[in-house]
Amino acid sequence: MGTKDDSLEKKYTKLFKGKKISLARYMTREEAEEFGWTKIPLVLFFSDNSLIVFQTDEEGNNGGSAYYQKGDSYQIIPTI
């Protein structure tokens, strides 16, 4: 029997597989203010006009950082 994690992995694999990032930029101060945020996160824009905004939690209480890893190296994408 599958787990909730399995179904979420399938859901997000289907959602993101094959997407191409067309732009990566930090949210503008005006955009952050619309959300009521003081921290400004990176936003990834995809070629199909979808996007990802990093936030601190599921409730969208503020902009958040991201962890990125490739091979043995990693970096944190900070909020500003």
Is the pLDDT confidence value at 13 over 80? yes
Is the pLDDT confidence value at 25 over 70? yes
Inside any domain, residue 57: yes
Inside any domain, residue 70: yes
Inside any domain, residue 9: no
Inside any domain, residue 40: yes
Inside any domain, residue 4: no
Inside any domain, residue 60: yes
- In angstroms, the Cα distances linking 71 to 17, 24, 61, 68 are 20, 21, 32, 10
Is the pLDDT confidence value at 51 over 70? yes
Count of domains in the chain?
1
Mark out the alpha helices in 1-80 (DSSP H runs). 4-16, 29-35
Domain range for 34 is 21-77
The pTM is what?
0.81
* 8 A C-beta contact, residue 11 and residue 51: no
Is the pLDDT confidence value at 5 over 90? no
Counting residues of the chain whose pLDDT is more than 90, the rounded percentage is 70
Inside any domain, residue 14: no
Is the pLDDT confidence value at 28 over 70? yes
Is the pLDDT confidence value at 34 over 60? yes
